[in-house]
């Protein structure tokens, strides 16, 4: 059965919320992001984009390009609130929604023809409803799959509405640079350039054998299919986890605080990594400890003043809870878990903490490559060194 997928993405989301909430900001270049030291731009209004300002640009540079701009640190609680209102509207339009970030989602419209009328009319209604209820302008893409729908929503921003069908797919794809293909980063782009492939049309005209020869079978298949506008991934609704944690049972009981704290550090690092991978920040840290005698289990938790996804904050909290318990022997199990996820945390906004972000980005890159064991804090190695 033919599928029909819609991708909806808000225009200049944070900036639009600000402009909608404050009349005096409307029609003006407005930049939201980290204002301190090495802060970066989260996003900016389309008025500011005309000056060359864009997301992830150092704030210092944005100020040079657009000195007359309005610069705001942002109100993430408010953005999360507007996002929730928008997702509630999505829910009226499809039972199958896959959120991608705070301001975008896939909606599966397959089989909804009778409810929908034409897809274009349905999209117009959705856009109008979002605008009427939240004041935000959305761009929409409609296509037979996720790859094409996401591409379509971006083609005519802001206030876009683009539909890709079997009939116009070549017309739309052929002139686009290959970098528009999901998974083609700077390195792959350069590699394709070397093969004389700049556009999706040129990629389409390249044989599978040639792609295989230069890029390997896996990448070749990926690009071959996407150049043909084929993508089998289904719209997959995701429930947000309620807690993220990790525990370990020991074959031999732990008999000293030092060993226990080393384990807590290891657990905290793993939990931090999972939080960051999920794009979550947690407000509560919980420690679980089980004695081998009678399997008596203790849990203690603490709420932090600010939600975190950082290893050392999780570790220090878990450690403090452990010390307060005053149990240092006969430990059969230790666990660290986190909960109370921040409503706006998925944003991945660490812009006021650029240094920390860089550090963790580096750590996570290694972890993504080598798995959870890829990086080990020095303290974890101490025991092995003593051997």
Pick from 8, 10, 105, 271 the residue near Mg ion by CB under 5 A. Answer: 10
Tokens 């731009």 -> residue: 41
Q: Indicate which residue of 47, 104, 261, 346 is catalytic.
A: 104
Cα-trace Rg, the chain: 25
Pick from 6, 14, 29, 335 the residue near ligand TTP by CB under 6 A. Answer: 14
Chain residues 200-259 in contact with ligand TTP, contact rule CB under 6 A: none
Alpha-carbon distance of 334 to 263, in angstroms, equals 8
Q: How far is the CB of 124 from ligand TTP (least distance, A)?
A: 18
Q: How far is the CB of 173 from ligand TTP (least distance, A)?
A: 20
Q: How far is the CB of 42 from ligand TTP (least distance, A)?
A: 3
CB under 8 Å to 298, separation ≥6 — which residues? Answer: 287, 288, 289, 290, 325, 327
Name residue 105's beta-bridge partners.
Answer: 8, 99
- Smaller CB distance to Mg ion: residue 72 or 215? 72
Residue 129 designated active-site:
no
Alpha-carbon distance of 194 to 153, in angstroms, equals 29
What x/- string results for residues 54 through 73 when contact with ligand TTP is judged by CB under 6 A? Answer: -xx-----------------
From the list Mg ion, ligand TTP, none, partner contacted by residue 42 (C-beta under 5 to 8 A by kind): ligand TTP
| Alpha-carbon separation of residue 232 from 4, 146, 295, 330, 341 (angstroms) | 12, 8, 48, 52, 32
- Residue range at the interface with ligand TTP (CB under 6 A); choices 7-15, 256-264, 270-278, 319-327: 7-15
- Smaller CB distance to ligand TTP: residue 55 or 165? 55
Chain residues 134-193 in contact with ligand TTP, contact rule CB under 6 A: 157-158
Alpha-carbon distance of 264 to 269, in angstroms, equals 9
The conformation of residue 177, written as its DSSP 8-state character, comes to: B
Alpha-carbon distance of 301 to 338, in angstroms, equals 9
- Smaller CB distance to ligand TTP: residue 150 or 332? 150
Q: Any known ligand binding at 9?
A: yes
Told to check if 105 binds ligand TTP by CB under 6 A, we report no
Query: Omega of the bond prior to 158 within 30 degrees of 0, cis?
Result: yes
The conformation of residue 145, written as its DSSP 8-state character, comes to: S
Asked if 140 and 153 count as a contact pair (C-beta separation under 8 A), the reply is yes
Catalytically active residues, by annotation: 104
- Residues annotated within a binding site for Mg(2+): 9, 103
Where on the chain is the footprint of ligand TTP (CB under 6 A)? 9-14, 42-43, 55-56, 101-104, 157-158, 347, 349
């Amino acid at each position: 059965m033919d599928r029909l997928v819609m991708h909806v993405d808000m225009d200049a989301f944070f900036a639009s919320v600000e402009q909608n909430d404050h009349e005096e900001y409307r029609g003006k270049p407005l930049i939201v992001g980290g204002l301190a030291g090495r802060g970066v731009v989260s996003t900016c209004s389309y008025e500011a984009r005309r000056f060359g300002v864009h997301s992830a640009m150092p704030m210092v540079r944005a100020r040079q390009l657009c000195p007359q701009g309005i610069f705001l640190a942002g109100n993430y609680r408010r953005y999360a609130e507007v996002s929730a209102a928008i997702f509630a509207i999505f829910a009226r339009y499809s039972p199958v929604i896959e959120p991608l970030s705070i301001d975008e989602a896939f909606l599966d419209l397959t089989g909804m023809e009778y409810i929908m009328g034409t897809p274009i009319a349905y999209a117009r209604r959705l856009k109008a409803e979002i605008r009427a209820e939240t004041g935000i302008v959305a761009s929409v893409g409609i296509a037979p799959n996720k790859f094409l729908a996401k591409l379509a929503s971006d083609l005519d921003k802001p206030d876009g509405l683009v539909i890709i069908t079997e009939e116009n797919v070549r017309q739309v794809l052929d002139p686009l640079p290959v970098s528009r293909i999901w998974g083609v980063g700077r390195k792959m782009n350069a590699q394709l350039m070397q093969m004389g492939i700049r556009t999706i049309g040129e990629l389409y005209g390249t044989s599978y054998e040639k792609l295989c020869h230069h890029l390997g079978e896996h990448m070749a298949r990926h690009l071959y299919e996407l150049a043909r506008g084929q993508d089998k991934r289904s719209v997959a609704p995701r429930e947000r986890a309620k807690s993220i944690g990790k525990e370990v049972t020991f074959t031999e009981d732990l008999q000293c605080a030092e060993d226990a704290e080393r384990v807590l550090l290891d657990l905290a690092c793993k939990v931090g990594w999972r939080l960051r991978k999920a794009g979550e920040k947690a407000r509560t840290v919980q420690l679980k400890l089980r004695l081998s005698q009678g399997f008596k289990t203790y849990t203690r938790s603490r709420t932090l003043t600010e939600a975190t996804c950082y290893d050392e904050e999780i570790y220090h909290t878990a450690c403090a809870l452990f010390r307060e318990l005053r149990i240092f022997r006969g430990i059969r199990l230790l666990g660290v878990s986190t909960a109370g996820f921040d409503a706006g945390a998925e944003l991945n906004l660490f812009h006021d903490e650029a240094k920390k972000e860089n550090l963790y980005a580096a750590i996570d890159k290694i972890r993504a490559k080598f798995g959870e064991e890829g990086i080990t804090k020095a303290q974890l190695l101490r025991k092995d060194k003593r051997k």
